[in-house]
A and B are shown apart, each in its own frame.
Chain A
């Protein structure tokens, strides 16, 4: 434990120190190579211009290089692998894609992903909005908001472990220690194995992500709601709008851009959902999703690089358009 803490601290110091040393040193070096002080007239102007041209690259350079190495290169490599067999050596054309669309488990994953897409972003945004509106008006709103925001700080795996205890099932005759079953039993119902209930088990997994992400939606939407000019609401009051009309016709349209950004951000997250499914069911009982399926093919049972990469590419293709739209929308928001 002590050794791990020590190594974490050393890593932080080396990392941050290294970054500072790089930026300071590179900056200094540039000043030395093209001095602008102590050089006569035109030469100084020239050097200043060269400095101005090079300096931005010094600062964004490291980020750019890391981006290429860890993002662009893997994308190209994945694309390459998706057209090759399980060892990644023999070209197989679109065989992997053909396999994917014929595979029952893949189809099941697609279906589940669509279900997740339909439920989670909508539920998070709706709950987030409702909570943001309601907590704005009560004195203990800040406390409530903090509590709702808290799950966002828990890792997906950690959250799954918590919910595993909530959904826990013990065999007949044993004391039910799962919260949900305890409640069901209290009201006279029969305990269930919640995470293996066909079809519905996916929804029990979704609840976990909704529990985590509602805080995110709430915080962003709450800020947006506060950004609405009070006077527009007062003008609407005088114009004769009732509270519902004010909410739907004055407030919602004014934060529409933010709602869209929240919605799409969560949508992207949902397309990549993996940890929760892995921890809770590992895709059993028809709860498989694309990301977990990809992980399965890539790293389990000897590994099939071709099929794993194919699923990765399909996920990327699904995320990409939403991502582009999301970034554009966010930029538009910032530019207003």
Chain B
């Protein structure tokens, strides 16, 4: 096990810069997810940690050692790929033993390690099968087994669950988390799915367009997003945004399009006339007679809650969740409000949290 340090790392392909100076500190034994939309550079960063891509500038270290110019096999890492990348001509056991064989490990030790990994992952009955005879979930498990067998300093996962169906993905998510709790190996996990990131990680790194938008614990990111991008990316359904400005006539309040008005805490007085974006999580919207009006467009009961999608008089879309079973009808207008201390305010120009 080891810590991983990423300092001011940049990556260019030709004249295009993909990563614009990324710094992340990963503590020994930590489970870190890199999350962001496709093209944000998260997979490239992971491949750079693995050594499959070179570092244009900056420094990557594993443990105490700077690994910029260290070959992948010398880095003591194991990687699980999105498409499993199993060797199709080898059995499950051979797949898992391949790296040890290359190191000329003793046969007895190789077998013992493969056996142990197979037991951890429930692969014992499948050891003599070929990858093509396995289901998607089993293949994924073999790919993880191949990583475990090596007992590396760091596990690297590159969107390992995106080829699985929804149900299996949830099951494997828990399995990977449990595995990490058991092995305590430092793990870097790339995903575009914010739910995966939220549920599995000790620490989330939100990336966007080659920069780190925010690093933090899952709930910190959820409760205090640093900027509009993180606010919109983390959470499902996504946070609602209303565009407007802060007025100071008769106590601090937000004035949005179409006459929408939301009272604010005194502390949020950024001065009158500044363009701001108000953010409110769908579950924080409450029915209230002195709220702003929302015309309901769609009502979606999920059983545990009722979700409505509606529009403000200014034409902005609003999604709200209610645990209570209100009898909403499309076309109906309801009045909604948010508690001032649950409101997120962002600078309308820079997108930074106020």
Interface size class of A (residues with CB under 8 A): 10 to 19
Q: Across the interface, do A238 and B73 meet the contact criterion of CB distance under 8 Å?
A: yes
Q: Across the interface, do A237 and B73 meet the contact criterion of CB distance under 8 Å?
A: yes
Chain B residues near A236 (CB-CB < 8 A): 87, 98
User: Is B61 located at the chain interface by the 8 A CB criterion?
Assistant: no
Q: Across the interface, do B98 and A239 meet the contact criterion of CB distance under 8 Å?
A: yes
Chain A residues near B84 (CB-CB < 8 A): 231
> Which of B78, B89, B90: most chain A Cβ within 10 A?
B89
| Residue of B78, B88, B90, B102 touching A245 (CB-CB under 8 A) | B102
Known: A240-B99, A241-B102. A235 touches B79 (CB 8 A): yes
Q: Report the stretch among A3-11, A91-99, A146-154, A249-257 that lies at the interface.
A: A249-257
User: Is A136 located at the chain interface by the 8 A CB criterion?
Assistant: no
Q: How far is the CB of A229 from chain B (nearest CB, A)?
A: 6
User: Is A185 located at the chain interface by the 8 A CB criterion?
Assistant: no
Q: How far is the CB of B107 from chain A (nearest CB, A)?
A: 17
Contact with A along B84-105 (1 / 0, CB 8 A): 1111111000000011001100
User: Is A155 located at the chain interface by the 8 A CB criterion?
Assistant: no
Q: Which B residues between 93 and 151 are near A, CB-CB below 8 angstroms?
A: 98-99, 102-103, 132, 146, 150
Please give me the residue from chain B that is nearest to A234 by CB atom.
B52
Q: Across the interface, do B83 and A231 meet the contact criterion of CB distance under 8 Å?
A: yes
A236 and B98 alpha carbons, distance in the complex (Å): 8
A234 and B53 alpha carbons, distance in the complex (Å): 11
A234 and B47 alpha carbons, distance in the complex (Å): 10
Please give me the residue from chain A that is nearest to B81 by CB atom.
A231
A232 and B95 alpha carbons, distance in the complex (Å): 11
| Residue of A237, A253, A254 touching B52 (CB-CB under 8 A) | A237
User: Is B18 located at the chain interface by the 8 A CB criterion?
Assistant: no
Chain A residues near B83 (CB-CB < 8 A): 229, 231
Chain B residues near A256 (CB-CB < 8 A): 89
Q: Across the interface, do A238 and B102 meet the contact criterion of CB distance under 8 Å?
A: no
User: Is B35 located at the chain interface by the 8 A CB criterion?
Assistant: no
Q: How far is the CB of B96 from chain A (nearest CB, A)?
A: 10
Q: Across the interface, do B77 and A238 meet the contact criterion of CB distance under 8 Å?
A: yes
| Residue of A232, A234, A239, A336 touching B102 (CB-CB under 8 A) | A239
A231 and B156 alpha carbons, distance in the complex (Å): 14
Contact with A along B46-73 (1 / 0, CB 8 A): 0000111000000000000000000011
| Residue of B72, B73, B86, B132 touching A232 (CB-CB under 8 A) | B86
Chain B residues near A229 (CB-CB < 8 A): 83, 85
Chain A residues near B90 (CB-CB < 8 A): 253
| Residue of B50, B82, B86 touching A238 (CB-CB under 8 A) | B50
Contact with B along A221-246 (1 / 0, CB 8 A): 00000000101101111111100010
Q: How far is the CB of B117 from chain A (nearest CB, A)?
A: 14
Q: Across the interface, do B87 and A232 meet the contact criterion of CB distance under 8 Å?
A: yes
Q: Across the interface, do B87 and A250 meet the contact criterion of CB distance under 8 Å?
A: yes
A232 and B86 alpha carbons, distance in the complex (Å): 6
A254 and B84 alpha carbons, distance in the complex (Å): 16
A117 and B118 alpha carbons, distance in the complex (Å): 46
A336 and B130 alpha carbons, distance in the complex (Å): 13
Please give me the residue from chain B that is nearest to A250 by CB atom.
B87
Q: Across the interface, do B81 and A234 meet the contact criterion of CB distance under 8 Å?
A: yes
Chain A residues near B89 (CB-CB < 8 A): 253-254, 256
Q: Across the interface, do B85 and A240 meet the contact criterion of CB distance under 8 Å?
A: no
Q: Across the interface, do A240 and B102 meet the contact criterion of CB distance under 8 Å?
A: yes
Chain A residues near B72 (CB-CB < 8 A): 237-238, 240
Chain A residues near B51 (CB-CB < 8 A): 237-238
A236 and B52 alpha carbons, distance in the complex (Å): 11
A253 and B130 alpha carbons, distance in the complex (Å): 14
A253 and B87 alpha carbons, distance in the complex (Å): 9
Q: Across the interface, do A240 and B73 meet the contact criterion of CB distance under 8 Å?
A: yes
Q: How far is the CB of B221 from chain A (nearest CB, A)?
A: 30
Known: A238-B52, A238-B77. A232 touches B85 (CB 8 A): yes
Please give me the residue from chain B that is nearest to A253 by CB atom.
B89
Q: How far is the CB of B350 from chain A (nearest CB, A)?
A: 39
Chain B residues near A253 (CB-CB < 8 A): 87, 89-90
What are 15 A-B contacts defined by CB distance under 8 Å? A231-B82, A231-B83, A232-B85, A234-B81, A235-B81, A235-B85, A235-B146, A238-B52, A238-B78, A240-B103, A241-B98, A241-B102, A249-B98, A253-B89, A254-B88
Known: A239-B150, A240-B103, A250-B87. 18 other contacts (CB 8 A): A231-B81, A231-B82, A232-B86, A232-B87, A234-B52, A234-B85, A235-B146, A236-B87, A237-B52, A237-B73, A238-B50, A238-B78, A240-B73, A245-B102, A249-B98, A253-B87, A254-B87, A254-B88
The 6 closest A-B pairs by CB, nearest first: A240-B73, A231-B85, A239-B99, A253-B89, A235-B85, A231-B81
